[in-house]
Amino acid sequence: MLPVTNPDPTFALTRASHVTMSVTNLERSRDFYRDVVGLVVTEESDHAVYLRGLEEAAHHSLVLERADRAHARRIGLRVRTADDVVAAERFCKAANLQFERLERPHQGPTLQFRDPVGTLVELTSEMDVVPRKMQDYHEYRSGAPQRIDHYQVVTYDVQTATDFWAGLGMRMSEYTAKDDTDELWGTWLECKGNTHDLVFTNGKGPRLHHFAFAVPDATSLIHAADVAGALGFGDEIDRGPGRHGISNALFLYLRDPDQHRVELFNTHYQFMDLETPPIRWDVTDPRRAQLWGMPASRRWFFEASEFPGEEVQEPTLHATPATLEDYLGIH
Ligand SMILES: [Fe+2]
């Protein structure tokens, strides 16, 4: 069933903004995101490393926290003002969601909550401002990621997740469904005016499949793949480069030292006019996943980062995706 976007939500989400990942070797992960991905280290301590993309004026878009086990701690979204954080807290209370107001370094008022399918989310309205480095071309490394763009979450119940976030004002730009029905298998939801800030796909969840940074152009994407190869991370490219049918993104997916997945991509399109309907793709159409290039590997389809304390549940819909291994006849 297609979701109904709430045109007047109780608080204003503006964009995907910051993600916190726990990692088992902080120095090794910092080196990966700085040298192989190309992010800027804003600040580091014994416990945490704060990184950002080159054009970002916000203090951080990726936080790595030292831990005994690797997890996706929470995905972060921005709301427009501090009043929106207060309104979000009222909403969580009324909706009987687990939530907590707390202090986070370099952030304004912050609210953490759990959505109805177990996605751990953090909202904030502001961050410390730091210099944009987009014109420090002499400091560009690897893919030169410019800014965080979106998250993809694997969930056991795409419909429930989609209805919840549409109720908070997110619009669906594209979706996958099966057999002429609108039974939702995957949904691409946005609040910032391009194709997605938050994606839900059917599978064992809740788990974070990836977070994504936009790179300046196709050459940067290829350069990132070359740098990954040169630094010994060639085997950690688990998909791409290729082009998705959905969202038209040119993509490259990398696994970090804890096997968290980060996407570098280029070219999403604008999605703002309210009368524009979502694009429907049949789940059996391989062009939705790649207009060209190889199918994704098994590990791309089935591996993802768990959220701490959230039990992973079997999906309500069952399917066997065609993988690279099937394509190559590897069993
Ligand atoms: Fe993505």
CA of 25 relative to ligand 1 center, distance in Å: 25
Measured from the Cβ of residue 177, the count of other Cβ atoms closer than 10 Å reads: 19
Any idea of the CA torsion for 186, 314, 19, 27, to the nearest 10 degrees?
-130
For 214-273, write each residue's pLDDT tens digit.
Answer: 999 999 999 999 999 999 999 999 999 999 999 999 999 999 999 999 999 998 999 999
- If you measure from the C-alpha of residue 177 to the centroid of ligand 1, how many angstroms do you get, rounded to a whole number? 18
Cα 185 to middle of ligand 1, angstroms: 16
318 C-alpha to center of ligand 1: Å? 22
Give the mean pLDDT of 78-105. 98
Judged against a pLDDT cut of 80, whether residue 320 lies above it is answered with: no
Rounded mean pLDDT of 306-310? 97
Mean pLDDT throughout 57-73?
98
DSSP string covering 276-315:
PPPEEEETT-GGGT-SBSPPPPHHHHH--EEPTTPPPB--
Measure 15 CA to ligand 1 centroid, in angstroms.
14
Query: Residues 6 or more apart from 14 whose CB is under 8 A from it?
Result: 77, 78, 79, 80, 191, 192
Ligand 1 mean position, distance from CA 76 (Å): 15
> Per residue, what are the HEC states of 200-252?
EEECCECEEEEEEEECCCHHHHHHHHHHHHHCCCHHHEEEEEEECCHHHCEEE
Reply yes or no on whether the pLDDT at 81 is more than 90. yes
E-assigned strand segments in 71-202: 71-79, 99-102, 110-114, 120-124, 147-155, 171-177, 186-190, 198-202
Report whether 99 contacts 113 (CB < 8 A). yes
Arithmetic mean of pLDDT, 319-327: 78
| Dihedral (Cα; 160, 165, 168, 173), 10-degree rounding | -120
Give the C-alpha distances (Å, rounded to integers) separating 172 from 56, 152, 166, 231. 26, 14, 8, 38
Q: What does the pLDDT read at residue 121?
A: 98
Domain 143-328 falls under CATH 3.20.10.10:
no
Residue 318 is predicted with a pLDDT of: 82
**Where does the pLDDT of residue 295 fall: very low under 50, low under 70, confident under 90, or very high at 90 and above?**
confident
Using DSSP bridges, classify how beta strands 250-255 and 261-266 pair: parallel, antiparallel or unpaired.
Answer: antiparallel
Domain layout of the chain by residue ranges: 13-128, 143-328
Distance 264 CA to ligand 1 centre (A): 8
How remote is the CA of residue 83 from the centroid of ligand 1, in Å?
Answer: 30
Distance from the CA of 186 to the center of ligand 1, in angstroms? Answer: 12
CA distance 70 to 85: 28
The span from the CA of 207 to the CA of 198, in Å, is: 13
What pLDDT sits at residue 102? 95
Q: What is the pLDDT of residue 174?
A: 97
Task: Please tell me the predicted confidence (pLDDT) of residue 141.
Answer: 98
Helix (H) or strand (E) holding 137: none
pTM over 0.95: yes
Write out the two tokens for 294: 């190889």
Contact 215, 265 (CB under 8 A): yes
Average pLDDT, the chain: 96
Q: For position 294, what pLDDT does the model report?
A: 84
pLDDT over 80 (residue 322): no
For the segment 133-172, what is each residue's pLDDT rounded down to a tens digit? 999 999 999 999 999 999 999 999 999 999 999 999 999 9
Higher pLDDT, 180 or 149: 149
- pLDDT given for residue 63 in this prediction: 98
Window from 179-183, 242-246, 266-270, 304-308 with minimum mean pLDDT: 179-183
Query: How much is the pLDDT for 328?
Result: 82
Domains 13-128 and 143-328 share a fold: yes
The token pair at 246 is: 């959905």
Of 137, 136, 167, residue with least CA distance to 3: 167
Q: Report the C-alpha gap between 93 and 87 in whole angstroms.
A: 10
On the question of pLDDT at 321 being above 90, the answer is no
Please state the φ and ψ torsions of residue 193, each to the nearest 5 degrees: 105, 0
Q: Which CATH class is domain 13-128?
A: alpha beta
What's the CA-to-centroid distance between 206 and ligand 1, angstroms? 16
Residue 248 has phi, psi (to 5 degrees) of 65, 25
Q: What percent of the chain has pLDDT over 90?
A: 89
Calculate the alpha carbon distances from 225 to 24, 233, 255 in Å.
Answer: 24, 9, 12
Q: How far is the CA of 211 from the centre of ligand 1 (A)?
A: 7
Least confident span in 69-73, 173-177, 300-304, 320-324: 320-324
Section 7-20 average pLDDT: 97
d(CA 151, ligand 1 centre) in Å? 6
